Amino acid sequence: MNFELKPLSLHEAATEKCDALLVLVPDSFKPGRDGFTALVGRAIKDGDAQTKAGKILSLYKPALAQASRVVIAGIGDGSAKQVRSGIAAALASVKSDQLKKLVLAFAGPARDASVRAAVSAVADGSYSYTTTKSKPEGRTLHAVLLTASNAPDLQAAFGRAVAVVRGVELAKEWGNRPANHATPSLLAKAAEALAAKHGKISCEVLGPKEVAKLGMGAFLAVAQGSDEPLRFIVLKYNGAAKAAAPTVLVGKGITFDSGGISIKPAAEMDEMKFDMCGAASVLGVFRSLAELKPAINVVGLIPSCENLLNGRAVKPGDVVTSMSGQTIEILNTDAEGRLVLCDALTYAERFKPRAVVDIATLTGACVVALGNVRSGLFSPDADLAKALSAAGEAAQDLCWQMPLDEEYGEGLKTSFADMANVAGRAGGAVSAAKYLQRFTAQYPWAHLDIAGTAWKSGASKGATGRPVGLLVEYLLAQAGA
């Protein structure tokens, strides 16, 4: 899908050839004297159109516009939230498989946040997964023109938003693919393809032998119950001098989580194909970086395997030695995410990172705590937590900071190893974070639990591409600092 931004007045925008024209009208709209602008003003004055976000008025072939379908859509105060809901309502009303070219015209000047919201709302509203369908009904929309009177001021925000869409859609694609079409080896191939296509990105893939040599006993324990070989993916984006310390992103890449011997119930187990959405978000961020080319260094680490069960599978009570040397009693094989992540977190030390952020569909408890609105954010580093929260707000990809008091880690004590991989049910998202924290002493660290935000269940089941927006925003803010 091609995005373009032009400095056109509303009247000029109406002369663009397209299948549908969405006129985005804020509360602050002042009708001009130009034909089309006056028409919109008249519709509002008469009360037929409203500027309230979500209110729409549909017109068919109005004389003053080139489009056959015109929708006057309220965007309220013009904030990201209200622009998003205004566009969602307008798009739903023109939903058609014939929509190829769309013009989104801001009636007057727009803000950075509204342009970004507009780009992401159009992308979300027109997304369609096709990879494993025999008769793909893909996205028909291939050209989106945004217009605003102050377009030149909005160019940077627009470019960022389009780059984020590319990353989000790559993350959605890999998230949505079923586990037999998104194995650890296929994920690794996707990472290699990304590196081959984009100059500043390189990729290295380790297999079981190399991972064993590194001493990643926790990661190996999860992988040993599956015939599908594990992959440890190392992506590098080099946009700054070699000596500049990188930010390391670690994405949980469990391509299917059956729970292992501590097997999950059958209902909705299919959704555990999404257990690699952390990994997919790392791929997505690299896709966006390829587009934006900021002057920073970023490393992406993806420990990827299946969590299945066979005659060699790890058993409750087994004790393994992690790469850090710490021993772990695996009391529940379904708490596998933290096992693959802890070895990747130790591996991250070699990069002497300025910060490490792990992204994981880690706990059902986080879904209970925060639902599907905000991701869980955990960090003992106040500055890092603040930067990630702010990035979430700016990108409208929200998170919420959770506690890390020492007491939450007490349940991880065991008589048979340095720690157990689970504590009690209470505060499960926090005890999971406390477990990870034991592997992060060497650098500033944050953990994003995206179990509730990485995908949607029910009728609109599918990956959301979150938190690519948050992460790209955070990285770009670091580039500016």
User: Residue 438 catalytic?
Assistant: no
Choose between 189 and 461: whose C-beta lies nearer to ligand BES: 461
Nearest CB to ligand BES, comparing residues 183 and 363: 363
Site for ligand BES in 241-300 (CB under 6 A): 257, 275
Q: Which two tokens stand for residue 267?
A: 């209902």
Among 124, 334, 358, 397, contact with Mn ion (rule: CB under 5 A) = 334
List 250, 339, 395, 422, residue binding ligand BES (CB under 6 A): 422
Q: How many residues does the chain have?
A: 481
Q: Among 451, 470, 471, 475, which residue sits at the site for ligand BES (rule: CB under 6 A)?
A: 451
How would you class 97 by CB atoms within 10 Å of its CB: exposed for 0-12, middle for 13-18, buried for 19 or more? Answer: exposed
Contact call for residue 257 and Zn ion (CB under 5 A)? yes
**Distance in Å, CB of 421 to Mn ion, minimum:** 10
Q: Identify the CA nearest to 410 among candidates 399, 419, 398, 400.
A: 419
Tell me the residue number closest to Mn ion, measured at CB. 334
Which among 322, 290, 329 is positioned nearest to 303, based on CA atoms?
Answer: 322
Nearer to ligand BES, 353 or 428 (CB): 428
Q: Is 427 in the site for ligand BES (CB under 6 A)?
A: no
Q: How far is the CB of 391 from ligand BES (least distance, A)?
A: 23
What span, in angstroms and rounded, lies between the C-alpha atoms of 29 and 53?
A: 13
Of residues 18, 235, 335, 384, which one binds ligand BES by CB under 6 A?
335
- Which listed residue (246, 337, 409, 444) binds ligand BES by CB under 6 A? 337
Site for Zn ion in 123-162 (CB under 5 A): none
Q: CB of 69: closest distance to ligand BES in angstroms? A: 40
Give CA–CA dist 298/203, Å, rounded: 12
Look at residue 333 and give the partner it binds from ligand BES, Zn ion, Mn ion, none, a contact being a CB closer than 5 to 8 Å depending on partner kind.
Answer: none
Confirm whether 242 is a catalytic residue. no
**Residue number with CB closer to ligand BES (167 or 337):** 337
Residue 367 interacting with ligand BES (CB under 6 A): yes
CB 471 within 8 A of CB 385: no
Q: Considering only the stretches 171-179, 211-219, 328-336, 348-356, report the one whose residues sit in contact with ligand BES under the rule CB under 6 A.
A: 328-336
* Separation of alpha carbons 466 and 395, rounded Å: 10
Binders of Mn ion among 247-276, rule CB under 5 A? 257
- Cross-strand partners of 105: 23, 147
Q: Is 306 in the site for Mn ion (CB under 5 A)?
A: no
Contact call for residue 194 and ligand BES (CB under 6 A): no
Residue 160 or 177: which CB sits closer to Zn ion?
177
Q: Which residues are catalytic?
A: 264, 338
Binding site for ligand BES (CB under 6 A): 257, 275, 332, 334-337, 361-365, 367, 422, 428, 451
Binding site for Mn ion (CB under 5 A): 257, 334, 336
